[in-house]
Structure 1
Amino acid sequence: VLKQYPTLKQFVLSNVRLTGIRIGAGAYASVEEVAVPGAICAAKKIHEFFLDGEIRIEVTTENFLEECQLMSTLRHPNIVQFLGVAIFPGSRLPAIVMERLLTSLHDLLEPQRPPPRSSKPFIPLSLKCSILHDVACGLAYLHKRSVVHRDLTANNVLLNSGMVAKIADLGVARILPDLAPATLTFAPGASVYMPPEALESKPGEENEGRMSKYDASIDIFSFGVVAMFTISQTFPDKLLAPTYTKDGENPVGRSELERRQEYMTIVNSQLEGKHPLLVEIIEKCLDFPGKRPDVKKVLDLLVEARKEVQDEQISKNKLDLVQALREAHISHQENEKQLQSSLKEQEALKEKNEKSLETIREKRQQILEENQLVQNKDRELTETLEKLRQKEEQLQTSEREKQRVQYSS
C-alpha cells in the first residue's frame, strides 16, 4: 500500500504497539488501544472484509487516504486529534492513530450495563449544554473549512476526562465548496440521524450506487438529533426509524414535520416546559433544509441557552445557599437555646452542689462541735474520777491512821 500510495509515508509512526484492548467496533472498522512512546492512543483499523477484491481494496484505500489527508489538516480542541498511521503485522492497510479519549457521548447518555439495567445516570443540564456547545464549535470549524461531516452521531462525539467533547470519525466527510448542495452518497450515516433529503434517492437512479442531493445542513439536522438525544437521554432508534417501501428494502424519508413532532414530544417531556431556547434550537435544526440555521447561528443560540441554564443554576445555587444559611441560623439558634438551657442547668446544679457542700460543712462543723463537747465531758468525767480516787485514797489513809492509833492505845 505504501508503494502504491507514497503520500501515506509522511503519516507513518514508528514504535506503535497494540495493547490488546478493543475500545469499540462498528460495521466499517474497529478501534484498538495502542501504546506509542510516552502515551496511550487509539487506532482505527479497517475490517479486512473491505479489502477483499481489487475494486474494494482500491476504493477502501482511496477513502482511507482521503481521510488521513483531511484529518492531518485539522487542528481544533473539539476535533479528535489525528497523530498519524501505524502498520501492524497481518494488516493490509495501516491504522489511523489518534488521541485516546474516555468515552463516547452515546455511552455517557446510555451506559452499556448488564441486565437488569439500572436507571440512567443523572447528567446536569449545564453539562449537557457545555457538550453541545463543544460539538457545535467543532462543527463550525469543519464548516468554515468547507468540510461536511455527514455522519455526526452521539457515537462519533467523544469525551475526555474533563468532559470536553470532540468530533470523531471523518471517514465519510466530504469537502463541499461554499457548503453548497451537491449530489452525494444516499444516507451516508446512521439513518436515524439523517434528514429526509438524504434518505431520498434521485429519480431514475438504480438501487446500487444510489445518490441524494443535500448540502451542509445535513450536519445541522444530525446535530439537532444529537441535541435531542443529549437533552432527553432517550435514543430515538425505534420511534424514529425510517419507514420502508412495499418491497421492504428501500427506506422512505418522512416529512420534516412528522419527524420533528416525534422528536419534540420527547424533548418537551424531558424539559418540562422549561428552557424554551433549547427547544427552539432543536426545532430549528430539524426544520426544512432551507430553514435550518447555519452552525454560526446555532452557536449563538447555544451561547444564550448556556447562559440561561447557568443563570438558572446560579439562581438555584443562591436560593440553596440562602436556604442553607437560614437552616444554619435556625440550627445555631436552637443550639444557642440548648446551650443556654444547659448552662442554666449547670448553674442550678452548681448552686445545688454548693448548698449541699454548705450543708455538709455545717453538719461537719456540728459533728466537730459535738465531738468537742464529748471530749470536754470526757475530760470532766476523768477529772471527777481522779478526784474521787484521790478522795478514796485519803479516806483509806485516814482509816489506817485511826486503826494504828487505836492499836497503840
Structure 2
Amino acid sequence: MAQGASFPYEEVAEIGGGAYGTVYKARDTESGKFVALKSVRVQTDQDGLPISTVREVALLKRLEQFDHPNVVRLMDVCAIQRTDSETKVTLVFEHVDQDLKTYLEKAPAPGLSQDRIKDLMRQLLCGLGFLHSNRVMHRDLKPENVLVTSGGQVKLADFGLARIYSCHMALTPVVVTLWYRPPEVLLGSSYATPVDIWSTGCIFAEMFRRKPLFCGESEMDQLGKIFQVIGLPSEEEWPKDVTVTRKQFLPPNHPPITDFVPELSEQGAELLLEMLTFDPLLRISALNALEHEYLKEEETADTEESTRESEAVP
C-alpha cells in the first residue's frame, strides 16, 4: 500500500455516488489511461491503519494476482495521512464506461435476447464463483455494480468494499437500496455467500423485465413483495434468531414466477427460483448455477448473433 507518495492520478469527472462515497473517473498521469477512484477516510491510531482495513485491502490485492476476466482489476492502493487520527485510503480500479443498468437501458426494444442474457449470467456467475471460492462476499450486488465493457464482457465491481467501509463509514446519511437484499439480511439474521446469489437472481429477472423485480419502500414492505413472488415460508423455515415473526405477514396468493417474468423458459424459471430460495442454506451456489441445464443448453449456438448484439449496444 503506497503511503504518502505523490498521487499520480488526475480526477476528470465524478461518475457516481453511493453507500461508499463518490467515485471519480481519473487519468493515470504516467500511462494516460483512465481509472476509477474510490476513497474512504479511515480512523487511525498510533500504530497506523487499522489491521482490519489492511487485511481487507491485502485480500483484494491477492485476488488481483489471478487476473480474473469477470472481476474488475484493483490496480493500485494509495494511503495519504491527512491528520494524526485520519488516513485517506484510495482504491484505484480499472475504468469501465458502463454498468449493467445503463446497458439494459440502452438495449433496443424489446430488450436483450435469451442468448445474450445467458451469456451475461454465465459471466456474472463465473466472477461470483471466483470471489466466493476465495472467501469474498460482495454484499452489495446490483446492476450498478456489474460493469459491461463495449465488447460485452461482464466485470464485477465494488466487491469486498462493504467490509473495508463498514467500520469506517463517514457520518453522512446513506441510502442503500433494499431491492436486491435477501430475506436473511432484511430480517437481521446471520448471512454468508448466499446473499450474493439472491441478488444475482434479482438481476437475472431484471434482465428480462428491464425493471427491478422487488421494489420495496421499507424492509417490511420489501419482505412482503418477496413473499408475493416466492410464497410465505413455513414456520420451520423461518429463522429463529430474528425479532420479525412470520405471523406479521399474510400468506399471499402467489402466482407462478413466469407471471412476473413471462419470457422465462421452464428451465430458466427453475434456475431463478433456486436463486430466490428463502433458506440461504438451500439456495443454489454460483458454481452449481453455472452447471444448471438452463445455462448449459445452446451454450455454443448463436455465438455470432450474441456477439453482433453485444456490439449493437454501445
- TM-score norm. by structure 2 comes to 0.69
1:103 Cα deviation after fit: 0.7
- The structure with the larger Rg is 1
Aligned residue pairs: how many?
A: 260
Q: Read off the aligned partner of 2:261 and give its amino acid letter.
A: N
Aligned match of 1:9 in 2, 7, 11?
Answer: 2
Q: Read off the aligned partner of 1:41 and give its amino acid letter.
A: V
Instruction: State yes or no: 1:291 paired with 2:282.
Output: yes
- Cα distance change, pair 263–62 in 1 and its aligned pair in 2 (3 A): farther
Counterpart CA distance in 1 for 2:58 and 2:99 is 24
Contact 1:267 1:279 in 2 (8 A): no
Counterpart CA distance in 1 for 2:186 and 2:210 is 25
Counterpart CA distance in 1 for 2:14 and 2:256 is 33
1:99 Cα deviation after fit: 0.5
Contact 2:186 2:219 in 1 (8 A): no
Counterpart CA distance in 2 for 1:229 and 1:152 is 13
Contact 1:64 1:171 in 2 (8 A): no
- Cα distance change, pair 305–119 in 1 and its aligned pair in 2 (3 A): closer
Matches within 5 A, 1:309-388: 311=301, 313=302
Aligned match of 1:167 in 136, 143, 156?
Answer: 156
3-state SS in 2 of match to 1:214: coil
Q: Read off the aligned partner of 1:197 and give its amino acid letter.
A: E
Deviations 1:359-379 (CA, angstroms, capped at 9, x unpaired): xxxxxxxxxxxxxxxxxxxxx
- Cα distance change, pair 214–108 in 1 and its aligned pair in 2 (3 A): same
Counterpart CA distance in 1 for 2:138 and 2:206 is 19
The aligned residue for residue 307 of structure 1 is 297
1:253 Cα deviation after fit: 3.6
3-state SS in 2 of match to 1:95: strand
| Greater length-normalized contact order (CA 8 Å, ≥ 6 residues apart) | 2
1:200 Cα deviation after fit: 1.3
The aligned residue for residue 135 of structure 2 is 146
**Runs of 5+ in structure 2 lacking a partner?**
165-174, 231-253, 307-314
The aligned residue for residue 172 of structure 2 is none
The aligned residue for residue 207 of structure 1 is none
Aligned match of 1:222 in 193, 196, 199?
Answer: 199
Counterpart CA distance in 2 for 1:222 and 1:296 is 15
CA-atom RMSD in angstroms: 3.7
- TM-score norm. by structure 1 comes to 0.55
Contact 2:205 2:272 in 1 (8 A): yes
Aligned match of 1:45 in 22, 39, 42?
Answer: 39
Q: What's the % identity of the aligned pairs?
A: 23
- Cα distance change, pair 290–27 in 1 and its aligned pair in 2 (3 A): closer
Counterpart CA distance in 2 for 1:282 and 1:146 is 24
3-state SS in 1 of match to 2:152: coil
The aligned residue for residue 11 of structure 2 is 19
Contact 1:32 1:43 in 2 (8 A): yes
